[in-house]
Chains A and B, each alone.
Chain A
Amino acid sequence: DAGVTQSPTHLIKTRGQHVTLRCSPISGHKSVSWYQQVLGQGPQFIFQYYEKEERGRGNFPDRFSARQFPNYSSELNVNALLLGDSALYLCASSLVMEGGRDGYTFGSGTRLTVV
């Protein structure tokens, strides 16, 4: 079985541009969460989706948006990129929203650099 797949793996964008990051969860997992990880810090919660509905949103500006598709894959969109958006963006899938006894399975992430 494939794990959590994220694309692209690396991305360089210019300030003000828009970016779309993609995630395919483990087959059978209906919960997808997005996290931002700045170098040297823990992952910061951005969004959580379960059964195609938004179930949680972190402290991020409205420039960040996401959605989950009928096949449970997900997209994270960031508009009007700032230098401070440079980070590793992680997607995590799970059977239940809080992870449960199997926890979250993370993808390898998308390394976004804004110049």
Chain B
Amino acid sequence: GQQVMQIPQYQHVQEGEDFTTYCNSSTTLSNIQWYKQRPGGHPVFLIQLVKSGEVKKQKRLTFQFGEAKKNSSLHITATQTTDVGTYFCAGPRTGRRALTFGSGTRLQVQP
């Protein structure tokens, strides 16, 4: 079945360093969404990308959707302690509309 994988599983950075997480789908996606889950919390929607090669920015966060619409990335510039959490990508299930979530990348930021 459809699989959405993320790498790395875990990243520990010093505050001020950059961070990138990569998302790869086994199938072409009509769109990709990114969510952030703080420790002990629930996933919170960040953004949706729809077009091939699309790039969107939210302050220090940059999101990209691959040309083949099978991969995506999230880049955080100059991390802050408030960026701590697990970042998930999610895409519509094959032939369905509910989302398949990736395995997530847990980010730890050292002050």
A interface residue numbers (CB < 8 A to B): 33, 35, 41-45, 48, 55-56, 58-59, 88, 90, 96-109
Contacts and interface: CB of A to CB of B under 8 A. Distances in A.
Contacts, number: 70
Interface residues of B, number: 26
A41 B103 contact: yes
Interface in B65-111: 88, 92-93, 96-104
A106 B42 contact: yes
B45 A42 contact: no
Contact of B97 (A42, A56, A102): A56
21 contacts: A33-B99, A41-B103, A41-B104, A42-B102, A45-B93, A45-B99, A56-B93, A56-B96, A56-B97, A56-B98, A58-B98, A97-B97, A98-B92, A98-B99, A102-B45, A103-B33, A103-B35, A104-B35, A104-B43, A106-B44, A108-B42
A55 B45 CA distance: 22
